[in-house]
Amino acid sequence: MEGILRVEGEYLVFEFHKKDAVVEAYQSELKTAKIPLSELDMLEFKKGWFSGKMILHGKTAKSFGDLPGKDMNERVLKIKRKNRETAASISSNLNLRISEQKLSELDNEE
């Protein structure tokens, strides 16, 4: 899979398509998936030598809807070297928003 990730309000928006690994030709139409931030438990960014990866942790098995992936409540996105700083920033900012959301939920329970 190949695609882009952006933040729109309270959603992570993925635009992606399937790409043939050998010929590197696109094999599917462009698809879009929106994941509410409220469905995310946390994001991790891991910086590597030549690329990085962002690991999205969902709250439930349904968190990611139709977004392709192997694990029920986790998606791993490979990040190109040129996009590592942007991905790290997105991860940090969204973790802050998720933490604030969790604190707000705890305050409302009391």
Contact 84, 61 (CB under 8 A): no
Tell me the HSE value of 10 on the side-chain side, using a 13 A CA sphere.
5
* pLDDT score of 103 more than 80: yes
pTM of the model: 0.83
DSSP character for 82? G
CA distances from 52 to 41, 44, 96 (A): 20, 10, 20
- pLDDT 10s digits, 54-84: 999 999 989 998 888 889 999 999 999 999 9
SS (H, E, C) the chain: CEEEEEEECCEEEEEEECECCCCCCECCCCEEEEEEHHHEEEEEEEECCCEEEEEEEECCCCCCCCCCCCCCCEEEEEEEHHHHHHHHHHHHHHHHHHHHHHHHHHHHHC
Per-residue pLDDT at 23: 65
